[in-house]
Structure 1
Amino acid sequence: MHDTDARDSSDSYENLHRVWRWRVPDEFNIAEACCTRWAASGRNALRWEDEGGASGRLSYAELEVQARAFAAGLAARGVGRGDRVAIVLAQRPETAVAQMGVAMLGALAMPLSVLFGPEALVWRLADSGARVAVADEATLAHLLRLRAECPALELIVGVGAAEGDADCGWRALLAAGAAGFEPARTRADDAAVLIYTSGTTGPPKGVLIPHRALLGNLPGFVCSQNGFAGEAVFWSPADWAWTGGLMDALLPTLFFGREIVAFRGRFQPERAFELMQRHGVTHTFLFPTALKAMMKAVPAPAERYALKLEAVMSAGEAVGDAVFAWCRDALGVPVNEMFGQTEMNYLVGNCARSVDEAGLAVPGWPARPGSMGRAYPGHRVAVIDDEGRECPPGVPGDVALHRLDRHGDPDPIFFLGYWRNEAATRAKYTGDPAASWCRTGDTAVMDADGYLWYQGRSDDVFKAAGYRIGPSEIENCLVKHAAVANAAVVPKPDAERGAVVKAYVVLAPGVQGDAALVGELQQHVRERLAPYEYPKEIEFIEALPMTTTGKVQRRVLRLQEEERARQRGGG
């Protein structure tokens, strides 16, 4: 890029932030915005299919009718404002209907992953006091066995093959809805969703998300999707039970009256390409772990698939320049990395090209490979130290979001607090509660142009021989090697140096790990990074421990190393 181009981009970015003002109405409801207002449009809302070959479509009109019937059916059973309704479903039409219906009730939708085992389900259902759970055959048996441990759980609604074994079948519930049901009117600040964190750094916490948070997500969504203009078709393998699937995919797609693809089945690289080709997917959100798998499985996708991709967003882990280069060169679309978290989502990221959507004119700003990007419009983001002071460029600190934007207006993206955990809510903030910084718990460096460079979860950054080590850079370097499918870097306790760098490596298909490959990988890192960053030890592993949102659980590996050190009598 020429200096003039860079200056123009920077000026446009600054102007965008200067003119952006939040306009949050006193009353706002997710279902009205994502469903009701599109019901008469004639538009299609969902295309769906599953591994068994079944498929179909759901229009916005049908979504509206079914959501009202679902809400009315629950209302007839005494479920109402503020009640928690667990939605234990994968990507399927009923999931979207339930989300809209719960919002119409003024109740709290509590999405739960079908990948959860009994203990994870019990924890969340009991902690939340959920009155209703909606499930299909994937989890119904678990729910029926554990309901004695969830005294508040009064009703289990069965979907699909589970209809006959549940307290009430889905179709029977919708048929029993009272005629003339009127959706609840909600304030923008009212709670809409109770979603539990993935437990990356500790026990999961319930995060209360207000209706207005969807509005706070939109600037980042539009920018990361390069405008989301035209007849967009969206798909993501991200589970709709998580922030990444719900707030980054399903709800914003419906807010703009576009079409989303729902696929119920396991993620596979080749299947992902086939799905995007078959449905003409134009916009997507793919985790770095998914992109890495796709890159290794199909290095040259253009030779096998006819894709229509206009934007690729990625989040959850650092993308790294290896994946960035593959997306740019092989997919023909620069990946827009995004950073956020359950408590306040879509804060920082990139926008590859100029866009104009919903009255929002946004000039693209160039992604810098390896960077998280810059703050999205409406968000005041900084890197702060332990005392809450903004760090100078180049100095690492905690990524934080201010409650007020640059104009002094409240940022609508903020969560309301942790469910029944005021102490944890207070600990999240630094400074005056009304005008304070909210810490993300992620460590990064901000450069002079406002781009953030991720170093890892604050708990993942460590010191080895006196040097501060961020795992992401080393992991990205390892993945560039053809033998490596994925990697995680953690400290290994060492009596002499405090800790040494250790890498857990998942090998690419067909590759055998041996001492020679260990030496080759160590030299690969030595030649590309600082001498103190190369892994002194490498352990080959079949799979990395992951959360159900696709994030590497380095904490699990770190604790494993600490336990091994205790058993050795060292560390």
Structure 2
Amino acid sequence: MSTRPVPSAQADHFVHDRLPPPGQWPELRFDRPELQLPDQVNAVQALFERALAAGHGDRPLLRSDERTLSYAQAQAEVNRIANALTGELGLVPGNRVLLRGGNSVAMALAWLATVQAGLIAVATMPLLRAKELGAIIAKAQPSLALCDVKLQDELRAALAADPDHAGMPLRVFNTGGTDGSQSLEALAARQPERATPCPTAATDIALLAFTSGTTGTPKAAVHTHRDVLAACETWPRHVLRATPEDIVLGSPPLAFTFGLGGLLVFPMWAGASVYFPSIPYTPEAMVQLIGRVGATICYTAPTFYRQMAPFAQRHGIGRLRISVSAGEGLPDATRQLWKDATGLEMLDGIGATEMFHIFISSPPEAVRRGAIGQVVPGYQARVVGDDGQPLPIGEVGKLAVIGPTGCKYLDEPRQTQYVKGGWNYPGDAFSQDADGYFFYQARTDDMIITAGYNVAGPEVEATLLLHPAVAECGVVGKPDDERGQIVVAYVVLKPGEAADAAQVKALQDHVKQHMAPYKYPREVVFVTTLPRTETGKLQRFALRQQAHQNP
């Protein structure tokens, strides 16, 4: 990399203008040969060119039961969509494009085309409701929405509720040819299959990845084209070590950076292929698909592996050679259960949306029981005290990480909570042994991680408080063998309201109707008072203690 800055190719500076002040940015380190990336680079163009230069043009990239696209065919489809976005739809580099869809070939093509065109991808979780989508729209200010035809209702409701975006263009995909001339596929079909990728600077923005923080207010992590490529040169190169012969499948949505990396970007970098199912995964269905499609790498959360284990023992796992676990803490009991069922040592890791992907992990041959792993080459990590200074070996403290990717939030005062002195603080408590293995202890904030999903307790509280029967409430995570944690709500009812099973169901249904269903409290505990400080602040730590003491 040179020291001469390359001018931005993004004419719309909305995101650039809302980055934190440079003094609040993380320090980025590119101190390995493979991290010497060009100052002018388009991540999608670079991934396709890498594959084609290696002779993979005719190899499969995107697979489903309906169709399989080679690298060359996928590039042609991406070019058509990119031409439609910038030509027929008139978008300019730097505009945000909201993407809403489950994992599918069409969703992957839409993401690749958006980024190749110099636009900024804003992928959203399929389970989000209109209210949650509305908050993302208000923050990202997209110019266009691309949506799976089956998921458009909540998005249309979100747009209708926002006067500033009610008229925003929306194009659907995965229509099966039933939506006439305005579907994304129909628009793309009218375009040439050659396109000139936007000549983005390495520091131009590729995506906004939304994460729900402890207050429930959405935070958008900003990632550049260089971030995407730098992530490919760390964990995938040194730990995962995928090959062109690999077939990858898994459950994390492409809207998660865990899914985006594992199920699209990293396979492209390796010349591998990805299988996207046409039906929702169940534990048994995933095991059967692994065998049927010859999958060799699987990504999912520990909860799912635990549920898959008996089916893996019954049906076998075919050619599977790597099982990647991330998204929540991996209990050793789950690791051993999976190993007993399959003979495979699970590949564990911890990453963060803010960092793009995994930064602590060990390959299967270097696993140490109870540990997540060692720091991934390209990153540095340490366990520090409240003063930011490293703690002695074995002591529990805050995890601090630095490397070629880091946290830059969009228009967010909480930037200084995540980045301190150039180091990133993901919000996890860890200890480290003398050999450099990191042992996860707990979250240091109010985030609940249940079955791989992040749930902000205060966000669920706010929804419960909208119910006419609720006077006060506090929401925390409770340890659970199956899901890692479950959401538990401690509720003070208004006078005259019945504290019975019917009320529990009413409150659970209320949350499901207003939020993504995975956020609902699986347990509701009725109490007469909540623990608070003298100034009236809710003491969630006291509720967590109560949840731990009452299994």
Indicate whether the TM-score tops 0.5: yes
TM-score by length of 1: 0.72
Contact 2:79–2:193 (8 Å) recurs in 1: no
Does residue 247 in structure 1 map to residue 246 in structure 2?
no
Distance in 2 of aligned mates of 1:489 and 1:143:
28
Deviation at 1:306, TM superposition (A): 4.6
Identity %: 24
Change over 3 Å in CA distance of 1:22–1:427 after alignment to 2: same
Change over 3 Å in CA distance of 1:396–1:243 after alignment to 2: same
Does residue 131 in structure 1 map to residue 143 in structure 2?
yes
Change over 3 Å in CA distance of 1:490–1:79 after alignment to 2: closer
Distance in 1 of aligned mates of 2:43 and 2:434:
38
Deviation at 1:18, TM superposition (A): 9.6
Change over 3 Å in CA distance of 1:396–1:489 after alignment to 2: farther
Change over 3 Å in CA distance of 1:551–1:456 after alignment to 2: farther
Distance in 2 of aligned mates of 1:551 and 1:455:
27
Deviation at 1:129, TM superposition (A): 0.5
Distance in 2 of aligned mates of 1:275 and 1:373:
29
**After superposition, where does 1:153-552 map in structure 2 within 5 Å?**
154-161=168-175, 168-177=182-191, 181-199=195-213, 202-218=216-232, 219-225=234-240, 227-229=241-243, 231-295=245-309, 297-298=310-311, 301-344=312-355, 345-353=357-365, 366-402=366-402, 411-415=403-407, 417-421=408-412, 423-431=413-421, 436-459=422-445, 475=479, 479=481, 485-486=482-483, 488=485
Determine helix, strand or coil for the equivalent of 1:212: helix
Query: Higher RCO, 1 or 2 (CA under 8 Å, sep at least 6)?
Result: 2
Change over 3 Å in CA distance of 1:60–1:150 after alignment to 2: farther
Determine helix, strand or coil for the equivalent of 2:149: coil
Change over 3 Å in CA distance of 1:249–1:490 after alignment to 2: closer
Matched residue type, 1:566: L
Deviations 1:149-198 (A, max 9, x none): 16246311111338766992122211343686421111221110111014
**After superposition, where does 1:101-120 map in structure 2 within 5 Å?**
101-120=113-132
Deviations 1:524-554 (A, max 9, x none): xxxxxxxxxxxxxxxxxx99x99xxx99979
Coordinate RMSD, CA, aligned: 3.5
Deviation at 1:340, TM superposition (A): 0.7
TM-score by length of 2: 0.74
Task: Mark the runs of 5 or more structure 2 residues left unpaired by the alignment.
Answer: 1-29, 449-475, 491-507, 533-537, 543-551
Change over 3 Å in CA distance of 1:414–1:47 after alignment to 2: same
Deviation at 1:146, TM superposition (A): 3.0
Deviations 1:230-274 (A, max 9, x none): 511111111111111102321111122211111133221110111
Task: Mark the runs of 5 or more structure 1 residues left unpaired by the alignment.
Answer: 1-16, 50-54, 354-365, 403-410, 463-470, 480-484, 494-541
Distance in 2 of aligned mates of 1:456 and 1:334:
23
Deviation at 1:224, TM superposition (A): 3.9
Determine helix, strand or coil for the equivalent of 1:566: coil
Deviation at 1:370, TM superposition (A): 2.0
Distance in 2 of aligned mates of 1:400 and 1:59:
40
Matched residue type, 1:56: R
Distance in 1 of aligned mates of 2:157 and 2:181:
13
Deviation at 1:202, TM superposition (A): 3.0
Deviation at 1:34, TM superposition (A): 2.6
Distance in 1 of aligned mates of 2:486 and 2:144:
41
Change over 3 Å in CA distance of 1:451–1:161 after alignment to 2: same
Quick one: which of 28, 38, 46 aligns to 1:25?
38
Distance in 2 of aligned mates of 1:552 and 1:155:
29
Distance in 2 of aligned mates of 1:258 and 1:455:
35
1:13 corresponding residue in structure 2: none
Matched residue type, 2:378: G
2:92 corresponding residue in structure 1: 80
Deviations 1:499-520 (A, max 9, x none): xxxxxxxxxxxxxxxxxxxxxx
Contact 2:287–2:317 (8 Å) recurs in 1: no
Deviation at 1:317, TM superposition (A): 1.2
Distance in 2 of aligned mates of 1:165 and 1:563:
52
Distance in 1 of aligned mates of 2:50 and 2:394:
46
Deviations 1:112-142 (A, max 9, x none): 1221111111111222111111112222122
